[in-house]
Structure 1
Amino acid sequence: MPPKIPDLGKIKQIIPPLSAEMHKGQAGRIGIVGGSEDYTGAPYFSGISCMKLGADLCHIFCEPGAGTVIKGYSPDLIVHPYLRTSQHIKESNLSPKDIVDNVAGVFSRLHVLVVGPGLSRDSVMLESAKSIIEKAKEKNMAIVIDADGLFLVQNHPETVQNYQKAVLTPNVVEFKRLCEAMKLKFDDNERDTMAQKLSNAFGGVTIVQKGSNDLISNGKEVLICDAEGGLKRMGGQGDILSGVIATFLAWGKGYEDGVWKHSGTLESKEISLLAAWSGCRIVRECAKRAFEKYGRAVLTSHLLEEIGPSYASLFEKGTSKI
C-alpha cells in the first residue's frame, strides 16, 4: 500500500477549541529533557515551538549551565536546572537517582515528554535520560525522541522497544543508524517501506523518517508529507518539529480524556501518527514561508514567527488541500 496523506477532518478532531470554559494547562503541558552548557538553543527551539503552536505550559529540564541561558531567551518557559553532566555531578552532591526523581516529580503536571534536544552525549546525561524515559513509560506518557535521544536509543533500543506511545524523529543519518541497531538493511530503492519496517522492528513505535519527503509510520500505516518546504537546511528545524509534534500529542491526550466535547470517533491508536504528520506539515509550511521572506539569510528563529500563521492557514481557514 503506497504512503498516503491523512484526512484533515481527523486531524481537526484532536485540536482543542479556544474556549473560555477551558482552564490553564488543558491545551497542553509539555516537558523537554535536554539542554547542556554547549547546547542551549535546541531545547529553547523545541519548547518555544510548543508555546507558539498553542500549548499552555512548557517545562525544560536541563543542566544549570544551560538553565540561566534558556531563562534569558524567554520568560514563557519554565526552566528546571535538574540535570548534571559527569563533570558536575560530584560537586552537586546529587546521585543519578536524585536527578531522575527530581524530573519525574514534575510528571504529574505534564502530558508529553520530549527527550534529546541539546542533551549532549555525556554519559551521565544519557543515563539520566534513559531512566527518565523509563519513568515516563510507567506513567503511560507520550514521548518524542530526537537528536541525542536517538543516539541513546541507537545504543539501547530496549528503551523504547514495544512502547507504542513513543515517536522517533530521525534524520537521514540517524535513520540509517537506527536501522543498523535493529539489524535492518537500509535500501534507498525501498525508501517508502523503510519507516514501516523500522517501526515494526521497534514493536510499533511511530517513526518519522525525515527527508526530501517525510514518511511517518506506526508499523501498520504509512503517511507521507511531501509539501514544499524551504531550500536552506540550517540546524534547529528538527527541534522545532519535536515541539510541534509534542503539542499535537498533548492535544491528543486531551481528546482522549474528554477535556472538550467531541464526537469521539477517532481511535487512540491513530493519534501518534496524525500528530507526527501534522508536525511535519506545519514545519514544512513554516520553512517555506520563512525562506520566501529571507532567502539565504533565513534563520531557524525566523521559522518560529511562522508557526501561528502556518497553523491558521492549514487548519483554521477551511483549506481543503493539506
Structure 2
Amino acid sequence: MASTATTPAGGSGLASTDDAAVMSRFRELVPQLGGNYKGAHGKVAVIGGCLEFTGAPFFAAMSALRVGADMAYVICTPSAATAIKSYSPELMVLPYLHEAAAAAAWPGGAGEDKVDMVAVSRAVDRILPWLQRATAVVVGPGLGDDPAVCEAGAALLHHARALGLPVVIDGSALTHIIAQRPEYAVGYSNCVLTPNVAELGRIGAAVGVHLPGRMSDAWQVHAPSIAQAFGGPVVVAKGPTDLICVPSSPPHAAADAAAASPSPSPSTSGQELRPLLECKDPGALRRCGGQGDVLAGTIAAFLCWAVKQQGGSKASAAQSSGVRPSSTSTTTTSGGGLEPGTTAMCVYAACKVMRGAAAEAYRVQERSLLAGDIIPHLYPTFRRVVGGP
C-alpha cells in the first residue's frame, strides 16, 4: 500500500498519496487502443550495452514494449550489438557508441586511459537524430565502465536534458556518470534516479549526503535527503520497500542551494523529510540480477504516456530542464516537463507492476527465477493492477 507520507513543503502535485487514489489517477494516463499511429504510445531509447553486459539493455527495452510502449531501440557499442540483436527481432539495435577499449585492442590503439573525444563526438552526432525521436530515455543499463562509452552517455544525457525528455538513469550511469558528475542530474525535474542500496550511497556522497556505517537496507531512510540534495529528480530507492522521493523545494531553488553549499547531514535531514510514496507490494523472494533493468524500462514506458497526455511545448521543456541547449545541441523537443507528482505516480505504478510480475514469476520458478522469466508476466500483472485492455 502507498504511504501517507508527503514532503513537508513545495508540494508534489498529488492530491492524495493513498494507493487507490494514486492508481486511479494513473489510469487516466493509460492511452486507449485503436486508431493510433505507430509510436503514439511512446518510443523508448535505451542507452547502454557493451561487450560485458548485453542482457541489461535488452531487459529494459523489452519490458517497455511488454507494458505497452510502441517502439524501443537500444543504442549500444558495436561489440554488444550482435548479441542484443539475436535476443529479439522486436528491438532496433544501433551500434553507435564508441569504445575506447576496442580501440586499444588494435596495434597503435588509443589505449583505455586516453579517450578519443573526437570519435566520441562523432558517435554522439550520429545518435542525436535517434534521440530526437524518443519520447523517453533510459541511460545506464549495461553501459559499463569504458571511459569513452561513459563520455558518450554523459553527452547524450546532456542532450536529452536540453530537449526536455524524461530520463530514467539506472545501473552503470548512476555509478560512472552521476556519482562522478552529479550536475548532469541536479535540478532536472524530468528525471528519475533508480539506485539500489550501493548506488544510493554513491550518488548521495556526490551531493554531500554521506551515509553512516556499513552499507545496508537501513541506508534507504536517507533517500529523501538525497532527493532533496539533487533538487529535481525523483529518486526511487530500491529495496524491501521501494521509497519514491521528491524534493520539497522547487527544483531551481533546491539546485541553487545544492550548488552553494553541501546538503544537510542524514542525521538531521533524514528526520525532517519522508518519501512521497512507498511501494510495499510483495515481490520475488529470489533477488536475481536484471530486475532493476525491467523496472527502468517499465518506468520509461509509463513516462511516455504521461508526456503524450500532457502534450508539452518547447517552452515548458526548456523551463523544466534547468539548462539551455548549447550551440551544438538540437533544439527540437519531444515532450514537456512533467510535474514531480506525475513522475512519482508513474514510478509507483511501475514498481507495483514489476513487483507483482516478479511475485508471479517466482511462484512458478522459485529458486530458478531469472529476470527474463519476469517479462512475460508484466502485462498480465498490468491488467490486474491497473485494469483495462
TM-score (norm 1): 0.90
Count of paired positions: 309
Partner of 1:117: 141
Q: Choose which of 181, 191, 195 in structure 2 pairs with 1:166.
A: 191
Give the secondary-structure state (helix, strand or coil) at the position aligned to 2:69.
Answer: coil
Partner of 1:41: 55
4+ long deviations beyond 4 Å: 3-6, 89-94, 187-193
Q: Distance in 1 between matches of 2:304 and 2:83?
A: 26
Partner of 1:263: none
Note the 1:274-293 alignment, pairs <5 A. Answer: 274-293=345-364
Q: Distance in 2 between matches of 1:138 and 1:204?
A: 15
Please tell me whether residue 2 in structure 1 is matched to residue 10 in structure 2. no
Amino acid aligned to 1:121? D
Partner of 2:82: 68
Please tell me whether residue 100 in structure 1 is matched to residue 115 in structure 2. no
More moved, 191-200 vs 130-139: 191-200
For 1:127-155, what per-residue CA distance to the aligned partner results, in whole angstroms no more than 9, with x for missing partners?
11011101111110010001101011001
Deviation of 1:189 after TM superposition, in Å, equals 10
Amino acid aligned to 1:97? S
Deviation of 1:195 after TM superposition, in Å, equals 2.2
Q: Rate the CA distance shift 1:224–1:69 in 2: closer, same or farther, 3 A.
A: same
Give the secondary-structure state (helix, strand or coil) at the position aligned to 2:282.
Answer: coil
Q: Choose which of 25, 33, 36 in structure 1 pairs with 2:39.
A: 25
Contact 1:256/1:268 (8 A) holds in 2: no
Partner of 1:138: 162
Please tell me whether residue 179 in structure 1 is matched to residue 222 in structure 2. no
Partner of 2:29: 14
Q: Which runs of 5+ in 1 are unaligned?
A: 259-266
Amino acid aligned to 1:18? L
Q: Choose which of 213, 218, 222 in structure 1 pairs with 2:241.
A: 213
From the CA coordinates, give the structure whose radius of gyration is larger.
2
Q: Distance in 2 between matches of 1:19 and 1:223?
A: 33
Partner of 1:306: 377
Partner of 1:244: 298
Partner of 1:273: 344
Q: Distance in 2 between matches of 1:310 and 1:89?
A: 44
Contact 2:234/2:340 (8 A) holds in 1: no
For 1:206-263, what per-residue CA distance to the aligned partner results, in whole angstroms no more than 9, with x for missing partners?
00000100000111361000010110001000000000000000111111118xxxxx
Q: Rate the CA distance shift 1:89–1:132 in 2: closer, same or farther, 3 A.
A: farther
More moved, 52-61 vs 84-93: 84-93
Q: Rate the CA distance shift 1:189–1:62 in 2: closer, same or farther, 3 A.
A: closer
Q: Distance in 2 between matches of 1:66 and 1:17?
A: 35
Deviation of 1:69 after TM superposition, in Å, equals 0.9
Q: What is the percentage of aligned positions where both structures have the same residue?
A: 30
Partner of 1:157: 182
Q: Rate the CA distance shift 1:192–1:172 in 2: closer, same or farther, 3 A.
A: closer
Q: Which runs of 5+ in 2 are unaligned?
A: 7-16, 110-115, 249-274, 313-337
Cα RMSD (Å) of the superposition? 2.2
Amino acid aligned to 1:59? Y
Amino acid aligned to 2:292? G
For 1:32-63, what per-residue CA distance to the aligned partner results, in whole angstroms no more than 9, with x for missing partners?
00000111000000000011001000011001
Partner of 2:366: 295
TM-score (norm 2): 0.75
Amino acid aligned to 2:374? L
Give the secondary-structure state (helix, strand or coil) at the position aligned to 2:236.
Answer: strand
Amino acid aligned to 2:346? A
Partner of 1:253: 307
Q: Choose which of 256, 263, 281 in structure 2 pairs with 1:227.
A: 281
Contact 2:189/2:233 (8 A) holds in 1: yes
Deviation of 1:194 after TM superposition, in Å, equals 2.1
Partner of 2:71: 57
Deviation of 1:97 after TM superposition, in Å, equals 0.6
For 1:76-127, what per-residue CA distance to the aligned partner results, in whole angstroms no more than 9, with x for missing partners?
0011000121123577997111111111121221111100001001111111
Contact 2:187/2:230 (8 A) holds in 1: yes
